[in-house]
């Protein structure tokens, strides 16, 4: 076998079973944030990018653009670290800090820009629909399976941790979200976006155990939205 064949086999293998991002093209971060702000304002007239959320919005934009300059937060030390473009997002923060709106705005931004990702053996759109974790549990209780969420190229779950601990189908009692995160966490060709009030370090372990916490460390870039409840008048 010649060297070219060997290399292409290796590259072929490398693209199998994992996330590969399109090569990053230069863009203007201020222009991108302006577009994000326009999407936000279309959903919520008071929408603004301010000191409390700029880091999060800026780095979610970089993540979608596959920009290696992306940063994230270390879930244990809280320090700024390099982001991982082949991992998903865990967005924490207390109630009303703007998590659900942020993840919806970024889904629209991804759709608008038409970003793509390589999901192991298939290419797909870098955008998502948001589903609440209790709605996933309802699907399990009605049908006995959540396979479509386990297999989704990008799964975006909001309000992770607010669902019932046990869902039942024909006598099978299952902690649906725990199983779902564990199974997705063992794959490298899927992106999970998790939005929660639970701090990734500690809060997730208390609710789901250390296997889930550990997998989310590996699967996701951690972010936290800070500040007061934006629902306050
Ligand atoms: N950047 C923003 N600028 C202005 N208002 C915002 C912003 N982000 C969110 N809001 C508003 O703040 C309120 C709370 O936002 P959101 O529902 O996204 O919070 P949350 O963090 O998901 O809360 P919870 O943890 O309770 O689910 C909403 O009315 C939303 O429209
Ligand atoms: Mg919310």
Give domain status of residue 231, yes or no: no
* CB neighbour list of residue 74: distance below 8 Å, 6 or more residues apart: 80, 81, 222
What pLDDT is stored for residue 228 in this prediction?
95
47 CB near ligand 1 (under 6 Å): yes
Mean pLDDT of the chain: 94
Residue 159 lies in a domain: yes
Domain total for the chain? 1
Which residue minimizes the CA distance to atom 15 of ligand 1? 98
Q: What pLDDT was estimated at residue 17?
A: 85
C-beta neighbour count of 229 within 10 angstroms: 10
Rg of the chain (C-alpha set): 18
Q: Confidence band (pLDDT; 50, 70, 90) for 24? A: confident
Q: Return the H-helix or E-strand segment holding 106.
A: helix 99-113
Is residue 135 in some structural domain?
Answer: yes
Written as six digits, the tokens of 221 are 């870039």
Please tell me which residue, 16 or 8, carries the higher pLDDT value. 16
In a domain, 147, yes or no: yes
CB 98 within 8 A of CB 53: yes
Given pLDDT bands bounded at 50, 70 and 90, which one contains residue 13?
Answer: low
Residue numbers of the domain that contains 214: 3-225
Give the per-residue pLDDT at 22. 84
Number of neighbouring beta carbons within 10 Å of residue 75? 22
Residue 232 lies in a domain: no
Residue 233 lies in a domain: no
pLDDT at 2 over 70: no
Nearest CA to ligand 1 atom 12: 230
Sheet holding 130-132, edge to edge: 80-82, 71-73, 220-225, 88-93, 191-195, 154-158, 130-132
Q: What is the CATH number of the domain that holds 164?
A: 3.40.50.300
Q: Nearest bound ligand to CA 130?
A: 2
Q: Is residue 140 one of the residues assigned to a domain?
A: yes
Q: What is the pLDDT of residues 86-139, one digit of tens each?
A: 999 999 999 999 999 999 999 999 999 999 999 998 999 999 999 999 999 999
Let me know if residue 153 belongs to a domain.
Answer: yes
pLDDT higher than 60, residue 5: yes
């Amino acid at each position: 076998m010649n060297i070219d064949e060997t290399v292409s086999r290796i590259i072929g293998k490398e693209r199998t079973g994992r996330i590969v991002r399109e090569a990053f093209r230069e863009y203007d971060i201020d222009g991108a944030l302006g577009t994000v702000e326009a999407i936000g304002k279309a959903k919520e007239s008071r929408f603004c990018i301010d000191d409390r959320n700029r880091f999060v919005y800026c780095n979610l934009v970089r993540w979608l653009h596959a920009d290696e300059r992306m940063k994230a937060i270390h879930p244990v030390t809280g320090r700024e670290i390099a982001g991982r473009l082949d991992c998903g997002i865990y967005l924490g923060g207390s109630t009303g800090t703007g998590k659900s709106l942020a993840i919806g705005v970024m889904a629209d931004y991804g759709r608008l820009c038409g970003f793509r990702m390589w999901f192991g053996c298939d290419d797909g759109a870098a955008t998502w629909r948001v589903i609440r974790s209790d709605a996933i549990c309802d699907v399990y209780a009605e049908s006995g399976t959540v396979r479509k969420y386990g297999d989704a190229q990008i799964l975006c779950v909001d309000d992770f941790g607010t669902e019932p601990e046990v869902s039942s189908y024909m006598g099978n009692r299952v902690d649906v979200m725990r199983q779902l995160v564990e199974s997705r966490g063992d794959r490298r060709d899927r992106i999970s976006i998790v939005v929660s009030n639970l701090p990734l370090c500690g809060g997730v372990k208390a609710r789901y155990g250390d296997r889930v916490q550990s997998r989310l460390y590996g699967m996701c870039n951690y972010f936290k939205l800070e500040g007061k409840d934006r629902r306050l008048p």
